[in-house]
Structure 1
Amino acid sequence: MSKQLLKSGIIVSAMTFLSRILGLVRDIVMTYVLGAEWATDVFLVAQKIPNFLRRLFAEGAFSQAFVPVLAEYQTNKTVQDVKRLIAETAGTLGAILLVVAILGVIGSPVLVTLFGPGFIGKEQEFELASLMLKITFPYILFISLTAFCGSVLNSVGRFGIPAFTPVLLNVSIISAAIIVTPAIEEKTALALAWGVFVAGVVQLLLQLPFLWKEGLLARPRWGWDSPGVQKILTLMGPALFGVSVGQINLLLDTILASFLERGSITWLYVSDRMLEFPLGIFAIAISTVILPSLSRQHASDDKAEFNRTFNWGLRLVFLIGIPATIGLFMMAEPIILTVFQNGKFGLNDAYLASLSLKAYIVGLLGFMLIKVLATGFYSRQDTKTPVKIAIIAMVTNMVFNLILFFPLKHVGLALATAISAIVNASLLFINLKRIGVFIADGRWNSWFAKLALANLVLVGFIFLVMAPTQDWQNWDVWQRVWNMVILVFGSIGVYALTLFAARVRMSDLRQT
């Protein structure tokens, strides 16, 4: 089982890595064409609102509620019952989201007022944000149905296509940015908005042939009164808040940043994009592949296998999360300079973005652990405990926002979010231990000892090899890229060799 999980995790990580690389290309094109200017801030707000709702309804609450119920049906009911659940869920979800999309388009000025209050009184920004939101908001309908299809495919062990799908969003936005002449910022920003819309349609269409191949493509039908749909909706209620608290915190950052100097939203966005790289490639990949397994193990009451799978997932998070935190923190400004500093995105923009990146990185391990720890609750169809913890984390974020916003500005917003993530992950872990869902096996002490050695060597390597920041600022783009390649791959090599010397083998990653 663990070998199959590792294989599935590698597939999801590889597809996510491709998506993240293209995402970086997309952001490089965007910042090169627009810079850290008002048009970029407006587009990011117009994109973030439907993207936030997507993570809240689709990849967040819906997936965490739907997959365990689907796994229960697959374990205990007939194939016809499974297909009926898929059809009724698709029809009900689609109808609700269609209404939400229509209301979002009609009420775009109200949404801009709520989520970008700093644009009030700035007529140019406010009008452009309202127009772009009318274009981007229907994305929630298409991408939520895409996430639904992806959850069905994941439940039968087909992880590749759902993991590849986000690539199409990046390709669409990049194409829109390149095709439209970037001479006028507003037109370029509108082109990016249309790129988001087109991507939603294409991503949904990609899933359908693969669902048909698995015999799981069912005609959607309204199923509000269906026991399965009602169970999903019941689980979704608390999960709407619990699983997406990190996204809510980031959205609060955007709201507050709209009151700061122009460029603040872009600096936070650039920082968040670099944070999402290890988070998406590893933590989300691990949680994606273990959720169906944990749900089936819970449905069949296999507690021993459940705990082995959970221990395996957490060990992988620490294996990747600790060096990712160290590397991103120590190399923050060189990374931002290499990836984004070009065109209209200047040296000062890179410096300010690197400060908020360091602040976010303080909570990286917390962000990663949340993704895996939450599956321990959702796979058991427990959505109440995470939401209680999420409320505490949300309040923590708000308190630290108020404390840090004025003295540290956009950096304070990022740091408050990081602190909130640490609180969230800590409380999730404590509760899992308390109720006996997670029982540490006998390998943790030696595992942490080996990781400590490898990460100490990693710190020494980066400290000795990385050039001073002044050199990175003076280098041209190719010198930066070359030195970053040496630094990144050298760090990976040193870390891997140290682990190998400490007797960590591939077999250790396959055993649960």
Structure 2
Amino acid sequence: MSDSQSIKSRSLLRSGLLVSLCTFASRILGLARDAALAFVLGASAGADAFYVAFKIPNFFRRLFAEGAFAQAFVPVLSDYRVNEGHDAVRELIAAVTGSLSLVLLAVTAVFMAASPWVVYVFAPGFADNPGQLALASSLLTITFPYLLFISLTALAGGILNAHGEYGVPAITPIFLNISLLVATLGFATSASQAELSIAWGVFAAGLVQLLFQVPFLARLKLLPRPTVGFSHPGVKRILLLMGPALFGVSVGQINLLLDTVLASLLETGSITWLYLSDRLYELPLGIFAIAISTVILPSLSRSHSSQSGERFADTLDWGLRLLLLIAVPSALALCILAKPIIATVFYRGELTAYDVEMAAMSLQAYSIGLVFMMLIKVLAPGYYSRQDTKTPVKIGLIAMVANMVFNLILVWPFGHVGLALATSLSAALNALLLWIGLHRDGSHRFSKEWWLLLRVLLLGSALLLAWLWFYDSLNIVWTEISSWQRVQHMLLVVCVGVLVYGLGLLLAGLRMRHLRAQD
């Protein structure tokens, strides 16, 4: 590898670590937020109603803002940076901001006006409980404007990421967690209807996150003066890329929402159990996979724009190897420690031991597919950075159909656990097909570092499994010990697990230079 490529690889590693650290802080606060929600709401009908009202704008956020829009906008913006210059970049940002804002205002108004029908579509099981349906509809009218705010926040974050400012967008989600913590513990505990107070916390969080990014855009002299510019060439390119991308990188989110639809037909609490387990497997997914994806997308886009195929393949290979070092132990830990983790984070207040048991079962099912879910986050940018949206669309449709088939096969014998397992199986299919396409056209090739990776993964995972199985054999009844004892036990098992796994990597020959450069 050349000196410039080695420097670039070190820069990517540093950026990845920065995003991971910021995201880690946000996710820890996110767990505190979800623990507070479980404490106040439990797994009641009201809790299910809130989670549906919270999931709907979040679904569209991930589908449009962080999914299709981000994957279409960043490559086009990177191309303008490389080939057009600063003034053209400012013009593009102004046109995108104005056009996106207009569309978002219209969508938000329609969904708020039609909230009862929207809830019925996404949670048809609520029709059997008119009070629950009415509550979810009221909550959705409050939470849906969050989509407007957070989509513009994602636009600002994409601009900052494309200019090498990774930390600010990674810090921004912290404000959602802080806002919900304040709303839940500061207002909901004394409110006549706790769900309404928490919904207003969602609204406030979106506004605060958007305002937080404004000064940093101004510092880069990229604070937009919005103009409606659907005829702008760059906007047209983004729109052309966005359409197919809706079914590409965001297939996982569509599958999760379909799970919510089916879960609403199951016993009360199923939506909450899936939400709690989803939040925990999203922790490594968000901290590491999305961090690596965030960092490599602009780099892959620049490599494609400058027609550097070798650098493109090396960057993608680096991202996959780095991700697997984290994904494999994360999946093993979540599977074996599912019940202890659920109990430690959520078991207090209105949540019962039965809820812990049910949520732990779905977490184990999700853990089976965690590696594949994380791989998708790195493989998908390999297509979108080249402005290829057709291939992920085809793969996404195949995975989505497969997920529905798996859902229908597994939901009746296994309930909510079957829904989680179906998500894992479809994620495996999605990741495999994405990789086959990249490998076939030469966009990814295995470097010689993979032999080292396999060796260190084998030893590190074996030592980690030995430790986890030993601790599990102690037969601690996690729901019968105090919260502080649960925290102490979990800190011990996690810290020792990290040390044991890290020792295994070192003994097998892994060194820092293997993470930042390819020979």
State the TM-score, normalized to the length of structure 2: 0.97
One-letter amino acid of the counterpart of residue 289, structure 2: A
Determine what percentage of the aligned residue pairs are the same residue: 54
* Cross-structure match for 1:275: 281
Which residue does the alignment assign to 2:334? 328
Q: Give a deviation string over 1:348-392, Cα, whole Å, max 9, x none.
A: 100110000000111000100000000100000001100100000
1:315: which partner in 2?
A: 321
CA shift at 1:307, angstroms? Answer: 1.1
2:16 corresponds, among 9, 30, 36, to 9
- What CA deviation, in whole Å up to 9, does each residue of 1:380-433 have, x standing for no partner? 000110010000000110001000010000000000011000000000011111
Code of the residue aligned with 2:389 in structure 1: it is T
1:403 counterpart letter in structure 2: I
Asked whether 1:266 is paired with 2:282, we answer no
RMSD: 1.0
Q: Provide structure 2 residue ranges, at least 5 long, that are not aligned to the other structure.
A: 1-7
Q: Which residue of 1 aligns with 2:35?
A: 28
The residue aligned with 2:5 is none
Find the partner of 1:121 among 104, 115, 128. Answer: 128
Aligned mates of 1:296, 1:181 — CA distance in 2: 47
Letter in 1 for 2:26: S
SS of the aligned residue for 2:199 comes to: helix
| Pair 1:85 & 2:92 matched | yes
Alpha-carbon distance, 1:337 to partner: 0.8
Secondary structure at 1:180 match in 2: helix
Aligned counterparts, 1:241-256, within 5 A: 241-256=247-262
Letter in 1 for 2:370: L
Residues 469/105 of structure 1: CA separation in 2 closer, same or farther (3 Å cut)? farther
List aligned pairs for 1:60-459, cutoff 5 A. Answer: 60-182=67-189, 187-459=193-465
Q: What letter matches 1:71 in structure 2?
A: S
Q: 1:48-94 CA deviation, whole Å, 9 max, x = no partner? A: 00000001110000000000000000001121111100100011011
CA drift at 1:121 = 2.9
Is 1:19 matched up with 2:26?
Answer: yes
For 1:30 and 1:469, the matched residues in 2 are separated by 29
Give the drift of 1:42.
0.3
- Whole-angstrom CA distance in 2 between matches of 1:84 and 1:75: 15
2:276 touches 2:359 (CA, 8 Å); kept in 1?
yes
Deviation sequence 1:423-446 (CA, Å, 0-9, x none): 000000111111111111122122
Per-residue CA deviation, residues 456-487 of structure 1 (Å, 9 max, x unaligned), is: 11101111133545532321111111010000
CA distance in 1: counterparts of 2:52 and 2:475, whole angstroms? 31
CA distance in 2: counterparts of 1:176 and 1:473, whole angstroms: 27
Contact 2:126/2:133 (CA < 8 Å) preserved in 1? Answer: yes
Displacement of 1:212 in angstroms is 0.4
Which amino acid letter does the alignment assign opposite residue 270 of structure 1?
Answer: L
Distance in 1 of aligned mates of 2:388 and 2:485: 51
Checking the alignment, whether the CA contact within 8 Å between 2:452 and 2:509 is kept in structure 1 is no
Between the aligned partners of 2:88 and 2:476, the Cα distance in structure 1 is 64
* Structure 2: distance between partners of 1:308 and 1:116: 44
**C-alpha distance 289-181 of structure 1, shift in aligned 2 (>3 A):** closer
Shift of 1:22: 0.7
SS in 2 for 1:36: coil
Residues 188 and 198, structure 2, Cα contact 8 Å, conserved in 1 = no
| Maintained 8 Å contact 1:334/1:469 | no
Q: Secondary structure at the match of 1:504?
A: coil
- Look up the equivalent residue of 1:394 and give its one-letter code: M
SS at 2:380 equivalent: helix
Residue 496 of structure 2 is aligned to residue 490 of structure 1:
yes
Q: Secondary structure at the match of 1:221?
A: coil
Alignment partner, residue 57 of structure 2: 50
Displaced runs of 4 or more, over 3 A = 466-470
CA contact (8 A) 2:188 2:197 kept: no
Partner amino acid for 1:66?
A: F
User: Aligned pair count?
Assistant: 511
Q: Distance in 1 between matches of 2:188 and 2:271?
A: 24
Instruction: Name the SS for the 1:241 alignment partner.
Output: coil
Does the alignment pair 1:502 with 2:502?
Answer: no
Q: Normalising by structure 1, what TM-score?
A: 0.99
Please give the secondary structure, in 1, of the residue aligned with 2:189. Answer: coil
Kindly provide the amino acid, as one letter, of the partner of residue 349 in structure 1: D
**Aligned counterparts of 1:135 and 1:250: Cα–Cα separation in 2:** 22
Q: How far did residue 255 of structure 1 move?
A: 0.6
Letter in 1 for 2:203: F
Is 2:347–2:479's contact at 8 Å kept on the other side of the alignment?
no
The question of whether the paired residues in 2 share the 8 Å contact of 1:61 and 1:236 is answered with: yes
Task: Give, in whole Å, the separation in 1 of the partners of 2:188 and 2:92.
Answer: 47
Q: In structure 2, what residue type is equivalent to 1:277?
A: L
AA of the residue aligned to 1:445: W
**In structure 1, how many angstroms separate the alpha carbons of the residues matched to 2:473 and 2:205?**
40
Q: Which amino acid is the alignment partner of residue 307 of structure 2?
A: D
Q: Hey, what's the Cα distance between the residues in 2 that align with 1:405 and 1:95?
A: 40
Paired with 2:360 and 2:424, the residues of 1 have a C-alpha distance of 15
| Cα offset, 1:111, TM superposition | 0.2
- How far does the alpha carbon of each residue in 1:250-289 deviate from its partner, in whole angstroms, 9 at most, with x for none? 0011110001111100000000000100000000000000
